[in-house]
Amino acid sequence: MILKQLLITFCMTIILSINTHAAEPVHFTQFNKNDFWGNYVGIVKIFSTLAVDYEDEVAAFVPGDNGQELLVGACVYGDNNQGHFYLPVYLDDQSTLDTKDGASVNDPLTFKVWDKSMNQEFTLTGKQIQLLPEEGLSIPDNGLTFILDSTVGMLHMSVNHFHDGKVELKDVITLMKHLASK
């Protein structure tokens, strides 16, 4: 009887220690994962409210072939650490010589946030991203660029307007719906 109880306790401990919230992005999905990356850590506020754990997504882009944006990493907000994002940004695979499929060291990074409840994507620029020192995290010397084998942070990102800052009626309606759903 005691052996049975110990076995049940052991099994429950193993089951509870497994991260049941592991989530893959559903919006930002087309990027090449490999064994070489750098991590970017931070928080996101969307209209002064923290992004929603296990729903909203954060992604990183670099300039790709032909001047188009290239998705180089994405994560589900709060998946690795509640209230934060932990975003792996993947290195360009050197074996695919004709195609850029990841970030190169010192590539400038662009970050985007997808708000699931609004089904809206936001590009973060300039003052919308602050890089604040945090013990154990790196800060790039040359702005928000790709750094291999490092954890960069703490990034504080804030979505506080739609599109180019011009307020349109549809934007106000979308914002009101978002606020009403909270």
> What gap in Å lies between CA 17 and CA 55, rounded to an integer?
22
Per-domain boundaries in the chain: 23-180
Q: How confident is the model at residue 166, as a pLDDT?
A: 57
Are the CB atoms for 71 and 63 separated by under 8 Å? no
Q: Who's near 164: CB < 8 A, 6+ residues apart?
A: none
Q: How confident is the model at residue 167, as a pLDDT?
A: 58
Q: What is the mean pLDDT of the chain?
A: 84
pTM: 0.78
Enter the tokens of residue 55: 């729903």
Closest listed residue to residue 104, CA positions, set 150, 152, 62 = 62
- pLDDT tens digits for range 130-159: 988 889 898 888 788 999 988 998 999 999
- pLDDT tens digits for range 32-47: 999 999 999 999 999 9
176 preceded by a cis bond (ω within 30 of 0): no
